[in-house]
Amino acid sequence: MDDSVECGQCGAVGLEPGFVEDSGEGSRGFARWIAGPLERGVFGGAKRLGRTRWEIEAYRCPQCGHLELFARREM
């Protein structure tokens, strides 16, 4: 998965692989995708106990800047 990724906006190939950063306190440095709609707890934070997390791969189009996101690996 790299050269075969095609931009969904302009159709360019050779998208640049990357990931979405999460620089929040206590975060591991990357954002994850969690199945199910967002539910907030008492303090406004997302409830995510027992939910499956997926690693997000983000491919950037060098032509138009569009991001193609894939949730690939279950964590």
Site residues for Zn ion per CB under 5 A: 7, 9-10, 12, 61, 63-64, 66
Q: Nearest distance from residue 45's CB to Zn ion, in Å?
A: 34
| Residue with Cβ nearer Zn ion (1 or 10) | 10
Radius of gyration (C-alpha) of the chain in whole angstroms: 15
Measured between alpha carbons, how far is residue 53 from residues 4, 17, 32 in Å? 25, 20, 6
Closest CB 3 distance from Zn ion, rounded Å: 15
* Residue 66 beta carbon to Zn ion: minimum distance, rounded to whole angstroms: 4
Q: With beta carbons less than 8 A apart as the criterion, state whether 34 and 58 touch.
A: no
